[in-house]
Structure 1
Amino acid sequence: MPVSLALEISGWALILFTLIPLIKNDYWTFRVFEYPRLQKLALSVFILIAYLVFAQIETERNWIFLIGITCNSLFLIYKVFPFTFFAKKVLLNADRIDPENGITIISSNVFQDNTNTMGCMELLSRHNPDVILLLETDNFWYEGTKELSNNYPYQVLVPLENTYGMLLYSKLELVNAEVRYLVDEEIPSIKTKVTLKSGKIIQLFCVHPTPPVPGENTHSTERDKELLLIAKEVKECEIPTIVVGDLNDVAWSYTTELFSKISGLLDPRIGRGFYNTFHAKTPLLRFPLDHVFCSTDFKLNGMKRLENFNSDHFPILISLQYESTADLEQEEPEADQEDQELAAEKINKPIQ
């Protein structure tokens, strides 16, 4: 097979994989192709360059393919651009550190079958955050991390054997903490108020909805419904709010964007980087699945992806700071009528 023909076949397949997620269908085959956007961009640019090198651009077919793969590359660049250093930050950096109004959080999907609790504990000890959220935690992980209670007196502990356990530890006082099962009686989420050292009370949501993958959940309906229910709740919340967890959705998907618009929360990744957290053991297939969103009441002190301790996810660390005037300096995402209608449709859609 001529090189140019092989490139055309590969390129048209790649264009198809780019177009499929634009169809807003909940079935997993439409949603899963949203994940590897960076990989699709790299392949698209490679095919474009290779085609210019190896193909003779003479026929109408050659020109149609060249235009198609060029448009595909430009579209993918447009979609990932907000998560590069060249884009404008939506969450501003704090001008000065205010320890009394700061909160540092580590969120980590530990991978339930992982047995390296010691590595996890060493990492947590080294970074010493105010709040720790451990996901996919069963009774083995509950027992292996119990020592955290020595330094983290406030806890919401939900160990489960179904890969959706949650362990929340906090040095800061938790108020009115509750475990909720918003969509599925086996999938918990945590809602709690947190008292900062200054006495300021903020709202924290911890989430880990199911992913749209075969063998677990063939549709994204449950995930989207849970996230949008929380988004609507956040919008009505009158105090500073943070949402943290493994959303099982990439930062650039239309559903994550919809969540941000409906909730009014900011994504600290925008203008800073991708912070790909999954899959930790497959460098060429990594996506930003672990998220922290916050209201415009906060500014950023720092954010980074931490070292792996044999999980399939990297932990994520974020340090936020409440500032009384921050909401005057930052623009809250807003949902238009179409967004509101789409969110209502997803929330009211029967579970499949």
Structure 2
Amino acid sequence: TVKQPLDNLYGMHLYSRLPLQDTRIAYLVEEGVPSIHGDVVLRSGTKVRLHCLHPAPPSPTENATSAERDGELLLVARQVDPCAGPVVVMGDLNDVAWSASTRLFQKVSGLLDLRIGRGLFSTFHADYRFMRWPLDHIFCSGDFTLARIRRLGHIGSDHFPIQAVLQHTPRARDLHPEPTATPSEAERAEEKIAQVDADQTALL
């Protein structure tokens, strides 16, 4: 387990049935908004790089703009390297799957969106049937195949849980193209990172 309880709604807890290694809690952009990073060791011995995020959204009570959220997402996107080994990024990203920010994150990171071709899996708000958005995400490198993804039932949170079962399948990398950023998109990502006081070394 990795636990970072906070009283500001941004505390995080990571539980794993598989061994965790080299885990650390980082405050990439904002004090009081943690993220968890480390390796999870599969039964095969393969290490999967794991990034668990929950950036603060733009709102009257949080941040005036999306700069902090976008900066955190893109800082992680820039650091991950799917070619160096399996990677999973997951969490409440406080952004919908079709937004420009999420699409830019995917292109810069080179990770795959499990939802594509399978549905929206709207997770928020759990209490309002006609006002729900897909804010909770799981992205993975191309050396995974998806066995199952589903939204689980109400657990008393304003978010529904989302469950994904991934199979590490290295040859799957040849089955689907991984997204890539154009030079202009990479430049735009750097500009967004530069807008926030990001801890550039936290993920190294």
| TM-score normalised per structure 2 | 0.94
List runs of 5+ in structure 2 lacking aligned partners: 198-204
Q: Does 1:256 align with 2:102?
A: yes
Answer yes or no: is the 8 Å Cα contact 2:142–2:176 preserved in 1.
yes
Q: Does 1:341 align with 2:167?
A: no
Q: Does 1:268 align with 2:134?
A: no
Distance in 2 separating the partners of 1:160 and 1:182? 16
Q: Assess, with a 3 A threshold, how the Cα gap between structure 1 residues 159 and 237 changes in structure 2: closer, same or farther.
A: farther
Residue aligning to 1:322: 168
Q: Does 1:167 align with 2:35?
A: no
| TM-score normalised per structure 1 | 0.55
C-alpha offsets along residues 122-148 of structure 1, whole Å, 9 cap, x if unaligned?
xxxxxxxxxxxxxxxxxxxxxxxxxxx
C-alpha offsets along residues 156-177 of structure 1, whole Å, 9 cap, x if unaligned?
0101101000011111010100
- Larger radius of gyration between Structure 1 and Structure 2: 1
Answer yes or no: is the 8 Å Cα contact 1:178–1:192 preserved in 2.
yes
Distance in 2 separating the partners of 1:246 and 1:350? 20
Q: How far 1:350 moved relative to its partner?
A: 4.0
Distance in 2 separating the partners of 1:290 and 1:183? 20
Q: Give the aligned length.
A: 197
Distance in 2 separating the partners of 1:350 and 1:244? 21
Q: Does 1:180 align with 2:32?
A: no
Residue aligning to 2:202: none
Q: How far 1:227 moved relative to its partner?
A: 0.3
Q: How far 1:204 moved relative to its partner?
A: 0.5
Distance in 2 separating the partners of 1:299 and 1:256? 21
Q: 1:206 aligns with which of 31, 35, 52?
A: 52
Distance in 2 separating the partners of 1:257 and 1:270? 12
Q: How far 1:237 moved relative to its partner?
A: 6.5
Residue aligning to 1:6: none
Distance in 2 separating the partners of 1:346 and 1:314? 30
Structure with greater proportional strand content: 2
Q: How far 1:326 moved relative to its partner?
A: 1.1
Residue aligning to 1:281: 127
What are the equivalent positions in structure 2 for 1:1-352 lying under 5 Å apart? 155-235=1-81, 238-350=84-196
Per the alignment, in what secondary structure is the counterpart of residue 343 of structure 1? helix
Code of the residue aligned with 2:10 in structure 1: it is Y
Distance in 2 separating the partners of 1:237 and 1:213? 36
Distance in 2 separating the partners of 1:229 and 1:236? 15
C-alpha offsets along residues 41-72 of structure 1, whole Å, 9 cap, x if unaligned?
xxxxxxxxxxxxxxxxxxxxxxxxxxxxxxxx
Distance in 2 separating the partners of 1:221 and 1:180? 18
Q: How far 1:225 moved relative to its partner?
A: 0.3
Q: What percentage of residue pairs aligned between the two structures are identical?
A: 52
Distance in 2 separating the partners of 1:237 and 1:214? 39
Code of the residue aligned with 1:335 in structure 2: it is A
Distance in 1 separating the partners of 2:146 and 2:164? 8
Answer yes or no: is the 8 Å Cα contact 2:82–2:142 preserved in 1.
no
Q: Assess, with a 3 A threshold, how the Cα gap between structure 1 residues 228 and 273 changes in structure 2: closer, same or farther.
A: same
Distance in 1 separating the partners of 2:176 and 2:168? 13
Distance in 2 separating the partners of 1:170 and 1:272? 26
Answer yes or no: is the 8 Å Cα contact 1:235–1:262 preserved in 2.
no
Structure with greater proportional helix content: 1
Per the alignment, in what secondary structure is the counterpart of residue 170 of structure 1? coil
Dislocated runs of 4+, deviation >3 Å: none
C-alpha offsets along residues 61-92 of structure 1, whole Å, 9 cap, x if unaligned?
xxxxxxxxxxxxxxxxxxxxxxxxxxxxxxxx
Residue aligning to 1:143: none
Q: How far 1:235 moved relative to its partner?
A: 3.0
